[in-house]
Structures are given as structure tokens and as C-alpha cells.
Amino acid sequence: MVDTMPMTGTATDVVLRAKDCDMYYGSLKAVRDVSIDIPKNKITAFIGPSGCGKSTVLRCFNRLNDLIESFRLKGQMTYHGQDLYASDVDPVEVRRRIGILFQKPNPFPKSIYDNIAYGPRISGFKGDMDELVETSLRRAVLWDEVKDKLPESGFSLSGGQQQRLCIARTIAVQPEVLLMDEPCSALDPISTLKIEELMKELVQNYTIIIVTHNMEQATRVADYTGFYNAQVVEGAGGKVGYLAEFGETQKIFNDPTLEETKDYVTGRFG
């Protein structure tokens, strides 16, 4: 495992840090030895073959894996230096600051307006809700398309619009980090480009981690890229994922240190 620290010598802050993290589902070790620093206001991409633990690591960052009963994390994860898994940390607060977006757009079964307003409302938002809904939708570049049909169901939108609605919903609770798990793989190319533009827009205010199977997408949007791989473990009858290489996207795609990374990014993976 190579533990490249791309930030050495720069002034970039580290928002999220994983240190020597092993992740288990029951007795199955799914991911081993992940150490990574996620830089502030940058887009970090996770790439790698299916089943090597990218989603697992991503969900660890906002404690969503807490909901999977068999899941266990060994190692340390910090958010601005604070241990995310310390016993006095409220996972609900963590998730509000570190939002997540999934592959399939999943609006709540509510109106477009209430999709956005739901999060702020339950967290006791006291300000002007209409204004918050509008700014959130504007930031997700969806406002002009939906401003006349806010009371309609979120399902009335197209797939790409639904995904942007989910982005708007996430940023409405004013998080600092956006986790995106293959947010474009269910979308057409035009919607994908829209989401990518939106990400570049958002990264000025947010820190973004995106899991993607699309190499070009990674090169288009990501400042840093982590390549995950999996290796077969004898006896246990499964494979365990690990972070093979992490560095600036340029370097990972043009001049990777490891042969396996090179094979993957050039499509010679097998």
C-alpha cells in the first residue's frame, strides 16, 4: 500500500482523515489498511473495480455504516481532527455536515419543495424556508426548471433533474462535505455533464468525494484520485479491498507509481 500525501508542502487543509482503517462485515474483512487525507474544497475521486470497498469507505465518512448491523470499523477516522467515532459524537450531526448522494436518484415521496425543506425542518431551521429552498435549488442549477412546479411530486422530474434535486436537498442542510457514490451512472451523458459542471461550481464551497467507474469523469472533475483494488485472501474465501494508490489525478492517470494502477487506468485490467 502506498500512502501518498499529496498535500505536503501546500497549505491545503485536511477535512477528513482515515488512519489505518480496517472495515468488516461480520467476520468478513472487506477493506484493509486505508489511510487517506481528504483535502478541503477539492474534488477527490475514488476509482477501482467493483467490490473493492469504495462505497464502504465512503459510507464510513458519515457513519452511515452504523446502520448495517454487522459492520465494524477498526482504526481512526477524523473530521477536522475530531475522532468521528468517539462515543460522545452524535452520528445524526455528523451526517448533517457530511451529506451523501447515491447512484440512483432517490427523491423523498414528497413535493419538490418538501424534498428540500424536509432536512432543514427536522433540524429546527427557523429562517425563511422559501428562500432556503430557492437558494438550494439555484445552487443545484435546478431552480429555473422547477420554480413553477414546486408543489409537484419529486418523481415528476427526469432522472437527471431528480439527481440535482437530491443534491439540492443535501446542500439545504448546509453540509461541508458531499459524498457521491456513482452519482451519474444512472444518468444520460447530458445530465452527467450537467452534474459535473455543478460539482465544479460547488467545490468552491464544499469538499467533494466522488466514487466513479468512469475514468474520463475522474480526469474531468477530480483534483485527487484514489485507486482501490482488491486482493484474494487465502482461507477466508473472499477478497479484501485496499487503497492502492492516492495522489493528484494528473499523476495517477499519467504517471502512476504502481503497475496495477497503470493497468486499471489504461483499461488493461483483468
Partner 1 sequence: MTTISGVPGDSSDTFDIQSLKAKRSRSRNLFNIIMTGLSGLSILIALVPLVLVLFYVFINGVNRLDLDLFTQLPPPPGSAGGGIANAIVGTLIVVAIAAAISVPIGVLCAIWLSEFGGGDTSIDEYVRFGVNILAGVPSIIAGVFIYGIMVRPGRPGYSALAGGVALAVLMLPTIVRTADEALKIVPQEIRWAALAVGASNYQTILKVVLPAAIPSILTGVTLAIARAAGETAPLIFTALFSPFRFNGVTNPIATLSVLVYNFATLPFQPQQELAWAASLVLVLMVLLTSIIARVVTRQKTY
Output 162 or 229, the one with its CB closest to partner 1.
162
In DSSP notation, 108-164 reads: -SSBHHHHHHHHHHHTT--S-HHHHHHHHHHHTT-HHHHTT-TTSBGGGS-HHHHHH
**In the complex, least distance from residue 110 CB atom to partner 1, rounded to whole angstroms:** 7
Q: Which stretch binds partner 1 (CB under 8 A): 29-37, 64-72, 235-243, 258-266?
A: 64-72
Rounded-to-integer distance, Cα 33 and Cα 71, Å: 16
Say which residue the cell 427536522 belongs to.
Answer: 122
Q: Where are the beta strands (DSSP E) in the chain?
A: 14-25, 28-39, 43-47, 71-79, 82-83, 98-101, 177-181, 207-211, 224-233, 238-248
Based on the shown chain and the rule CB under 6 A, indicate whether residue 53 belongs to the binding site for ligand ADP. yes
Rounded-to-integer distance, Cα 214 and Cα 190, Å: 15
Per CB under 8 A, contacts with partner 1 among 139-178 are 155, 166, 169-170, 172-173
Based on the shown chain and the rule CB under 5 A, indicate whether residue 55 belongs to the binding site for Mg ion. yes
What x/- string results for residues 217 through 246 when contact with ligand ADP is judged by CB under 6 A?
------------------------x-----
Output 58 or 240, the one with its CB closest to partner 1.
58
Based on the shown chain and the rule CB under 6 A, indicate whether residue 47 belongs to the binding site for ligand ADP. no
For 5, which DSSP code?
Answer: -
Cα radius of gyration (the chain): 19
Q: Which does 143 bind (CB under 5 to 8 A by kind): Mg ion, ligand ADP, partner 1, none?
A: none
Rounded-to-integer distance, Cα 218 and Cα 243, Å: 16
# residues contacting partner 1 (CB under 8 A):
28
Based on the shown chain and the rule CB under 6 A, indicate whether residue 51 belongs to the binding site for ligand ADP. yes
Q: Which stretch binds Mg ion (CB under 5 A): 12-20, 33-41, 49-57, 138-146?
A: 49-57
Output 1 or 122, the one with its CB closest to ligand ADP.
1
Based on the shown chain and the rule CB under 8 A, indicate whether residue 109 belongs to the binding site for partner 1. yes
- Indicate the helix (H) or strand (E) that contains 219: helix 215-221
Rounded-to-integer distance, Cα 153 and Cα 98, Å: 26
For Cα atoms 244, 246, 250, give the angle at the middle one, nearest 5 degrees: 125
Instruction: Provide the binding-site residues for partner 1, judged by CB under 8 A.
Output: 62, 64, 67, 69-70, 92-93, 95-96, 99-100, 102-104, 106, 108-110, 118-119, 122-123, 155, 166, 169-170, 172-173
Instruction: Provide the binding-site residues for ligand ADP, judged by CB under 6 A.
Output: 25, 30, 50-56, 68, 241
